[in-house]
Amino acid sequence: IQLPDDMTSLSKSDGRKPSLELLRGKPYDYQVSGIRWLCDYYDHGIGSILCDEMGLGKTYQALGLIAHVLSTTEQQILICAPSSLSANWISEIEKFLQEVEIFNHFGATRASTVRELQEKRIILTTYEIAVRDLALLDKINWGVVICDEAQALKNRQSQRRKAIASLKSYSKVLVTGTPIENSLKELWSLVDIVYPGLLGDYRSFESLIDDNPVDAKKLGQIASPLMLRREVLEVAKDLPPIVYI
């Protein structure tokens, strides 16, 4: 397994700043860095995995990417999340993105035709609906597919994982605080969504990788360019002081 040329070229980025005119709020320095990272990968047509520790504003950074895509392209954006987080996404978009409408593709507002979906720039759906309406969603060439709580896709044989992997998209972004929980093989499932083929086919990968420190280091050298993870202690200097009440 070798690092492809298009990923290597990211280290030679031209340093263009993302277009964030639509994004409200004042991001912390590490969030600015995260947004730039997401946008840089998107601009190169490469997927990515944002796996900052809980509490560091992964959703806000994803909104930064959405603002950039809306400002620089005519592409459509699909957000997939567990149904329990749908209300949170709606609230965050209304709070932090200016003059942006979100179409809820679930419940009573669910679309039944491709034309209905093609008229919307941002579409929010759930993993369950993505599986059920795959034949509909698969007819659109998405600009970016953003998957929240993406650890839900770690099982390569699950219907939700197969559905997300099959969608046509210029770039796919996975947002998760826990990319690996039990086995290195879970990482194949996630990486192959954002960069199909990077780790080879699953059978070959399974025969080469085992759950041990040596293989973890070897795998990390290949997969780490696609992943951004910061811990709270790492960026503590950017955060406001704790107020005890």
State pTM to two decimals. Answer: 0.90
SS3 233: helix
- Longest alpha-carbon distance in the chain: 55
How, if at all, do strands 227-228 and 169-175 pair?
Answer: unpaired
How, if at all, do strands 169-175 and 102-104 pair?
Answer: unpaired
Compute CA distances 243 → 56, 155, 203, 240, whole Å: 17, 40, 51, 9
Going by C-alpha positions, the residue among 3, 66, 56 that lies closest to residue 30 is: 56
Tens of pLDDT, residue by residue, the chain (245 residues): 455 656 555 544 555 678 889 999 999 999 999 999 999 999 999 999 999 998 899 999 999 999 999 999 999 999 999 999 999 999 999 999 988 999 999 988 899 999 999 999 999 999 999 999 999 999 999 999 999 999 999 999 999 999 999 999 999 999 998 776 667 888 899 999 999 999 889 888 888 878 888 888 888 788 889 999 998 888 877 666 544 44
Q: List beta partners, residue 97.
A: 23
